Amino acid sequence: MTEVFKLPFILSGGLGMGLLFPIFASMKTFQEIVQQTEFSREDLTTLLLAEREERQLLLQQAQSVKLQTIGNKVFFRGLVEFSNICAKDCLYCGIRKSNDHVVRYEASDEEILDACRFAWENRFGSVVLQSGELSSPVFVERISRLLQKIKELSNGELGITLSCGEQNLETYRQWFASGAHRYLLRIESSNPDLYLKLHPENDFHSHQRRLQALKDLRTAGYQVGTGVMIGLPFQTIDDLASDLLFFKAIDVDMVGMGPYIEHEETPLYEFHSQLKTRQQRFDLALKMVATLRLLMPDINIAAATALQAIDPAGREKALTIGANIIMPNLTPTKYRKDYQLYEDKPCLDEDAELCRNCLEARIDLAGCEIGYGEWGDSKHFRK
């Protein structure tokens, strides 16, 4: 689109005719922005603010880029939430250390290995071991032992992602040597000021500590994953654009992000009246997924379970417009209600087989195919 500025004018003396010519300023159309391969902060903000026809154009372009870059396959990551015991006290989280209403649990080694065996026998390709944040020597050694046993029971065929919080470089290296090769550590927000509003103000919850952990993961050799919550209190569209630029700046290999859903038993719930509606947060999360797919075409993007907490078809909508990872919950059903980081978490009473069958149907409805038996490593990392 070309816009004519009425003022100022310049005098052309080329032919000595004293003609006045308007200055023309070139402005990008929305369609031109979505066709780009490089994006400014302003471009990203424009995409995240898209509504109606422009929003549809964004989602369609993200779908096209996904198919051209990484194809139509969706990869399973069997999720095992093996413990809700946490040393952290994050202000948004339902399993924070100070929440006395949570029934704490720790799955046995055998329960964890049974879940991983199910994943291997059903050709999931990969598992994710997730827990609250602990760093004791006993915890570190237990994870190493479990990693080695998972590799042994699957003949080395199962890929393993860990999501066990901030650790030191030595621990990350130990776990990598024991068999893990991907690690998910969400930054939660790339804005240090907003991060401070989400965590207690002490060194144990510092933004710098989180950044150092992400750097250490890269040093240790992992495929590095991170992510943010979308629709937080105090969060702006500019914050979210900065988050996307942060993913690009640290050269992330995979991203897991979803809508923020409040939990009544957390300090951040005090500000729930300031939140966008859940539907608005859901729509914004889809635009974040789509925009990230345009910004970083060859990374892995997870369809977050929190999407399904708002929209029954939330995860398949994310798969359609850019996501390519989905995490069937393999946590023993007796523990699931106690691993609620947020309210209204879905699939609490489905056993592993029901969850697998449900997701297979959802992926089919989304027009995708499942990469059975494949690790589905990030193409970005392989490059």
23 assigned to some structural domain: no
321 assigned to some structural domain: yes
Arithmetic mean of pLDDT over the chain = 91
pLDDT by residue (tens digit) across 218-248?
A: 999 999 999 999 999 999 999 999 999 999 9
Residue 15: the pLDDT is 35
What average pLDDT score do residues 158-170 get?
A: 98
What average pLDDT score do residues 294-313 get?
A: 96
CB 352 within 8 A of CB 56: no
Q: Phi then psi for 130, rounded to 5 degrees?
A: -125, 145
Whether the pLDDT of residue 143 is over 90: the answer is: yes
92 assigned to some structural domain: yes
pLDDT by residue (tens digit) across 99-115?
A: 999 999 999 999 999 99
333 assigned to some structural domain: yes
| Nearest to 321, CA basis, from 291, 295, 296 | 291
Q: Phi then psi for 291, rounded to 5 degrees?
A: -65, -40
Whether the pLDDT of residue 41 is over 90: the answer is: yes
SS3 of residue 347 by DSSP: coil
What's the pTM?
0.91
- The domain containing residue 253 runs over which residues? 37-382
CATH code of the domain covering residue 336: 3.20.20.70
pLDDT by residue (tens digit) across 1-11?
A: 333 223 222 22
CB 325 within 8 A of CB 376: yes
142 assigned to some structural domain: yes
Q: Report the percent of the chain where pLDDT is more than 90.
A: 85
18 assigned to some structural domain: no
Residue 361: pLDDT band by 50, 70, 90 thresholds? confident
Q: Looking at the 3D structure of the chain, how many domains does it have?
A: 1
